[in-house]
Amino acid sequence: MNSKMVITNSCLILVLGLFSIDLYNPALPEIARVFSVTDAQSQSLVVFYLAGFALSQLVYGPISDRKGRVPVIMVSLALGALGNYLTSTADSIQALYLFRLLTGIGAGGCPVISRAILSDTFKDKTELSKSLTVFSMASQVSPAIAPVLGGFITAALPWQYNFYALTLITLLGAVFIKATLVETAPLHGVPAKRLEGFKVLLRDFNFMVYSLVSAVLFAITIGYFTASPFIYQLQFHLESQENGLLFVGYSAGIVLGSYLTKRFLNRYSPERILMASLVALTGLAALAPLVLQAFNLVTAPAIVVYGFLVALGCGLSSPLLLGISLHGQAKHAGTGSALQGAIKMAGAALALYFFSEGHTSTAMGLMLGILVMALFCLFAIALAQRIASRSVATA
Q: How confident is the model at residue 192 (pLDDT cuts 50, 70, 90)?
A: very low
Confidence of residue 308 (pLDDT cuts 50, 70, 90): very high
What per-residue confidence (pLDDT) applies to 169? 94
For residues 83 and 24, is the Cβ–Cβ distance under 8 A?
no
> How many CB atoms are located within 10 Å of the residue 279 CB?
15
The confidence score (pLDDT) of residue 352 equals 66
- Name the least confident of 90-99, 155-164, 192-201: 192-201
* Mean pLDDT for the stretch of residues 5-30: 87
* Mean pLDDT, all residues of the chain: 84
The predicted structure's pLDDT at residue 103: 94
395 pLDDT more than 60: no
More confident residue, 146 or 172: 172
pLDDT of 285 reads 94
pLDDT, tens digit, for every residue of 26-40? 888 888 888 888 877
Superfamily designation of domain 3-394? MFS general substrate transporter like domains (1.20.1250.20)
pLDDT class for 190, splitting at 50, 70, 90?
very low
Calculate mean pLDDT across residues 39-43: 75
Domain boundaries, the chain: 3-394
Indicate the pTM of the whole model. Answer: 0.71
When mean pLDDT is compared over 72-81, 193-202, 223-232, 355-364, the highest value belongs to: 72-81
